[in-house]
Structure 1
Amino acid sequence: MTAETLPSLIMLTLRSPAEAARALIARNLPMNTRWMALIVAVSLSALMNWVLTRMLAPEVSPEAAAASPMMTLSSQPLLLAAMQFGAVVTTAALMDGVGRVFGGRGNFADALLLVTWIEVMLLVVQILQVVFLMILPPLAALMGLIALVLFVGLTVIFTKTLHGFESTLKVVFGVLMTAIAAVFVLSFIAAAFGVLPGMPNGAMPGAPQP
């Protein structure tokens, strides 16, 4: 993927996400290139999160910043990049695995490429958020909502295109159910290791107390 085609591919994704997904898959990029693209995307995303945190720091009290897991993570870009890397790979594995369970014809390599491209699109939103934060702060807050809509929309359309599904409604339902199951499992794991606020390690409901 060259720098010359990057802007046109971004515009194509906004105009016709399904066509953009097919164009990405048709490139047949080597697997090492896909992994490299993911590393670059999550690294830049973590860096932009750090920049946003620095810009917002004067407006947030130290107590509120300390109580916010996102603010804490954003101040550690390497840790955030590693977590985003894991999240993208997990999302790609779910996009591939769950889709094929329901008769899809996709594969992990293409799922990884598409989810990485979603990360790139969200990075574009982050860059715009930084720009708007400097010149028009109210629009910066709106970019968070736009990022959420973009993520959900692209995930659904890319999953449908990857696996050749016909029904958008069924894909929406599948993505929703997969997300709920993933959140449940991750929440259970986080509780088991004492990551959830207010639930120290070993203090799960029903566990014997010393």
Structure 2
Amino acid sequence: MSSDDFKALIRLTFREPEQAAHWLMAQGWPMSVRWMALALAVSVSGLLAWVSMQIYGGGEQTQGGLLAGQQPLVLAGLQFAAVVVGASLMASVGRMFGGHGRFEDALLLAVWIEAILLMVQAVQVVLSVILPPFAAIIGILSIALFLWLTVQFTKALHGFISAPKILLVMFATLLALGFVLSFFAVALGILPEMPQ
């Protein structure tokens, strides 16, 4: 992909996200390229998140006792896992509702969403130094952008029509996932058990 193709794809993603998703899926890139793209995206994102933490003075030590120098790798690892889980859910839950999307394409679309959010994150880090109030606004807009792109890409992946239904299923899936993860967190001692 040339730099012109990359810029055109960014513009297309904001104008016609479903077309951008279909273009990405039509490229036929091998899984190794998709995994490498994910590793690159989350590595840069983890580094930017660490820089942002340093700017706001929260990078001395994490709750788990990790030193600041180790944080970018930890953040990248967590984000890597989150994107893979998200792509798995995008593919599997969609198929439960009659879709036909594959994990390979869901992973590619999730990586592209991560890349778009990475650009927004870079702008946010710069604004956090120059104009801190605007950085907070960018943070809120990035959440809206994530939801919008995920819904549009899910439509393209599975051939769905209704965006509100996809959004509703997304929220239901996140609630169910949070419920399941809370049990694992309690079992592993990460969260305390609720008093009887």
What's the TM-score, normalizing by structure 1? 0.85
CA apart distance, 1:4:
3.0
User: For the residues of structure 2 that align with 1:56 and 1:11, how far apart are their CA atoms?
Assistant: 32
Query: Which has the larger Rg?
Result: 1
Residue 179 of structure 2 aligns with which residue? 184
The one-letter amino acid paired with 2:155 is: K
> RMSD over aligned Cα, in angstroms?
2.3
Mark the runs of 5 or more structure 1 residues left unpaired by the alignment: none
SS in structure 1 opposite 2:98? coil
Residue 149 of structure 1 aligns with which residue? 144
* 1:3-39 CA distance string (max 9 Å, x none): 3322221121111111111111111111100000000
1:139 aligns with 2:134: yes
* 1:31-53 CA distance string (max 9 Å, x none): 10000000000000000001111
CA apart distance, 1:73:
8.5
Instruction: Indicate conservation of the 8 Å contact 1:41/1:123, yes or no.
Output: yes
Residue 121 of structure 2 aligns with which residue? 126
SS in structure 1 opposite 2:4? coil
Residue 46 of structure 1 aligns with which residue? 46
User: For the residues of structure 1 that align with 2:179 and 2:138, how far apart are their CA atoms?
Assistant: 27
* 1:109-135 CA distance string (max 9 Å, x none): 000000111111110111001121222
1:4 aligns with 2:8: no
Instruction: Indicate conservation of the 8 Å contact 2:61/2:68, yes or no.
Output: no
1 or 2 for the larger relative contact order (CA 8 Å, sep ≥6)? 2
CA apart distance, 1:186:
1.4
Instruction: Indicate conservation of the 8 Å contact 2:127/2:135, yes or no.
Output: yes
CA apart distance, 1:103:
0.8
User: For the residues of structure 2 that align with 1:135 and 1:34, how far apart are their CA atoms?
Assistant: 35
The one-letter amino acid paired with 1:22 is: H
User: For the residues of structure 1 that align with 2:67 and 2:109, how far apart are their CA atoms?
Assistant: 29
* 1:128-159 CA distance string (max 9 Å, x none): 01121222221111111011101111111111
